[in-house]
């Protein structure tokens, strides 16, 4: 009896018991399957290949000073997020859209449009904390299980070999597969992201103001275009804002909560100038 088959049966049995014994959600079963069947070493190896793909198709901003700033801020949020076995990295991407994304294994990217549009470091921290916690909660791996099923994921991985990992990257449609999160994944990343920014000393209201900005930017795009397609698989922005406000109400008020920094405003101005946005 091979180890993979034994592990698979154990995971399935545990998932069934969890569902029967505690009315666990489908997401709980997906989490269990991902955590049991996909070791962190394989997730990191997949992330490296996805990152190579992304960096071959995307124009990195390539400013060491901006990347160093993002890394400092990102590592601050990593330290206040749930423990993860991954070494996180943060890079800026030359793209005017209000976006950031994270790949399995801790590879995080921030669009210059997001840096330019954020009004404060707390707003940027809210988005980056959200992305960090897509990684800590292994949402990319859960998505593989969700899309392909436990048995197929196990078969595709084919053990802990480099060939098995490469096969998954090739056969699952590339990095877009592990960047497409379900509604519950987004809610969870919001919750953990808000907690991480609060614990890192940031004013969590930055998450509220950013999502209000996202809502205003989306306008009527919910039914058309790329942004509309993205929003159709995410919780409605109104819902996310309400959830975040409710979460903030449970957090003790702190007089030292950081809203902004001179360093962020300097980096923001640098990025805006290079994009030709100008002004404040």
Mind listing the pLDDT tens digit for each residue in 183-237? 888 999 999 999 999 999 999 999 999 989 888 876 644 443 444 444 444 566 8
CA-wise closest residue to 194 among 241, 237, 239, 235: 241
- Pinpoint the alpha helices (H) of 58-182: 64-79, 112-117, 121-136, 139-157, 162-171
CA distance 227 to 243: 21
Q: Can you read off the two tokens belonging to residue 118?
A: 């954020």
Distances (CA, A) of 182 to 145, 151, 194: 12, 20, 18
Kindly state the DSSP code that residue 258 receives in the 8-state scheme.
Answer: B
User: What are the contacts of 160-163 at 24+ separation with CB within 8 A?
Assistant: 160/39, 160/41, 160/42, 162/45
Which of these is catalytic: 30, 121, 131, 188? 131
CA distance 236 to 226: 15
- pLDDT band for position 10 (cuts 50, 70, 90): low
121-136: b (≥16 Cβ within 10 Å) or e: bbbbbbbbbbbbbbbb
In which element (H, E) is residue 110 found?
strand 107-111
CA distance 154 to 58: 30
Can you tell me the mean pLDDT for 46-61?
89
At which residue do the structure tokens 């449970």 appear? Answer: 250
Among this protein's residues, is 239 annotated catalytic? Answer: no
**pLDDT tens-place string over residues 21-40:** 444 566 666 677 777 777 88
- Strand-pairing partners, residue 60, are 93
- pLDDT band for position 19 (cuts 50, 70, 90): very low
Q: Which position has the higher pLDDT, 41 or 200?
A: 200
- pLDDT band for position 140 (cuts 50, 70, 90): confident
């Amino acid at each position: 009896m091979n180890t993979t088959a034994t592990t698979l049966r154990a995971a399935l049995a545990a998932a069934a018991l969890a569902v029967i014994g505690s009315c666990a959600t489908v997401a709980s079963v997906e989490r269990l399957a991902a955590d049991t069947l996909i070791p962190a070493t394989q997730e990191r190896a997949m992330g490296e290949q996805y990152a190579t793909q992304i960096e071959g198709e995307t124009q990195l901003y390539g400013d060491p000073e901006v990347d160093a700033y993002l890394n400092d801020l990102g590592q601050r949020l990593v330290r206040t997020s749930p423990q993860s076995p991954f070494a996180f990295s943060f890079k800026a991407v030359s793209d005017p859209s209000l976006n950031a994304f994270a790949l399995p294994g801790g590879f995080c990217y921030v669009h210059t449009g997001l840096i330019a549009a954020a009004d404060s470091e707390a707003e940027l921290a809210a988005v980056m904390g959200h992305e960090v916690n897509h990684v800590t909660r292994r949402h990319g791996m859960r998505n593989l299980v969700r899309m392909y099923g436990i048995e197929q994921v196990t078969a595709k991985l084919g053990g802990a070999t480099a060939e098995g990992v490469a096969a998954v990257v090739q056969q699952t449609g590339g990095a877009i597969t592990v960047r497409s999160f379900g509604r519950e994944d987004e809610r969870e990343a919001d919750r953990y992201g808000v907690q991480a920014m609060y614990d890192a000393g940031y004013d969590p209201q930055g998450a509220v103001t950013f999502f209000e900005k996202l809502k205003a930017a989306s306008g009527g795009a919910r039914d058309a275009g790329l942004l509309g397609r993205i929003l159709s698989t995410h919780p409605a922005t109104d819902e996310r804002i309400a959830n975040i406000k409710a979460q903030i109400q449970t957090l003790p008020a702190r007089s030292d909560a950081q809203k902004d920094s001179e360093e962020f405003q300097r980096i923001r101005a640098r990025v805006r100038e290079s994009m030709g946005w100008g002004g404040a």
